[in-house]
Structure 1
């Protein structure tokens, strides 16, 4: 994939995600925003660690964080965090099932597709480990939201 194509894909990914977030509704955005931003910062830090340890590699040069993982972190990751909280918060089992489905879709078909179009490839981890890399953040997201809601009721 050419650098221009990758840049276009990254921009589309971010714009479409944020347009979709706007459809969630202002009350839900306000309610879930703090937890989503905290988990997104954690994901960005984990992404930097994964890049350093070569868990995955993006094919295009310059192989910078901004040209690779960052567009995913500020786009689809934020969207999936909002959606899983909106649709699953209140029932931990439902939340985890929804998170597992969303992350399974990203990890298995999308990762295969990304490798085929030479966007990125997993290097030092396999697809199962990549799935757990994402799904292990779901209980943390739920806990952060729970703590924010509990704090709000105490005020």
Structure 2
């Protein structure tokens, strides 16, 4: 990979973090658990994708590390918080926003990433990748719903999730 492309990957990882102060601390804390959960999910998915050769990263940030790390901890991590901030509680809006963003990534950004030698699809086609993205979309929203229900119930019960006293 050319030095120029390495700079692009580094910027892709770091630039989204510059928007974090604009989110507000309350929003960041509210959606951080769901985003962390999804990041762990993506790491697991990346390991599975490596074994099954769904896609191939031509460039690794560090040896023996998932090459998806710049995507996971850059645009995905920060983007998930932004998307949840503006769409959580409005599922249809969440669905449409995610479909648009995932389609832009799948049908435009992926070609550019392939061109710069970052990643290529191997055993998945773009339609199948869209299905993978759709699954992640539902998992993130579902996790956030469950988390908030448990968290709100715990705060209403004085910290006890099931309402029992110690």
TM-score (norm 1): 0.90
| SS of 2:92 mapped into structure 1 | helix
Partners of 2:51 and 2:21 in 1: CA distance: 33
1:1-155 alignment, distance < 5 Å: 1-2=1-2, 4-60=3-59, 64=63, 66=65, 68-154=67-153, 155=155
Q: What TM-score comes out, normalization by structure 2 length?
A: 0.84
What is the CA–CA distance in structure 1 between the aligned matches of 2:144 and 2:53, rounded to whole Å? 31
Between 115-124 and 5-14, the greater mean CA deviation after superposition: 5-14
Contact 2:16 2:74 in 1 (8 A): yes
Deviation of 1:65 (Å): 5.8
Structure 1 residues not aligned, in runs of 5+? none
Q: Deviations over 1:78-132 (max 9, x none)?
A: 1221122111100111111111111111111000111122221111101111111
Instruction: State which structure, 1 or 2, has the greater radius of gyration over its C-alpha atoms.
Output: 2
Distance in 1, matches of 2:60 and 2:95, equals 36
More relative contact order, 1 or 2 (CA 8 Å, 6+ apart) = 1
- Check the 8 A contact 2:12/2:75 in 1, yes or no: yes
- Shift of the 90–63 alpha-carbon distance from structure 1 to 2, 3 Å rule, reads same
Structure 1 runs, 4 residues or longer, greater than 6 Å off: none
What is the total number of aligned residue pairs between the two structures? 154
Contact residue 5 and residue 116 of structure 2 kept, 8 A = no
What secondary structure, in the 3-state scheme, does the structure 1 residue paired with 2:23 have?
coil
- Check conservation: 1:13, 1:71, Cα contact below 8 A: yes
Determine the C-alpha separation between the residues in 2 that align with 1:29 and 1:62.
26
Following superposition, the deviation at residue 149 of structure 1 comes to 1.4
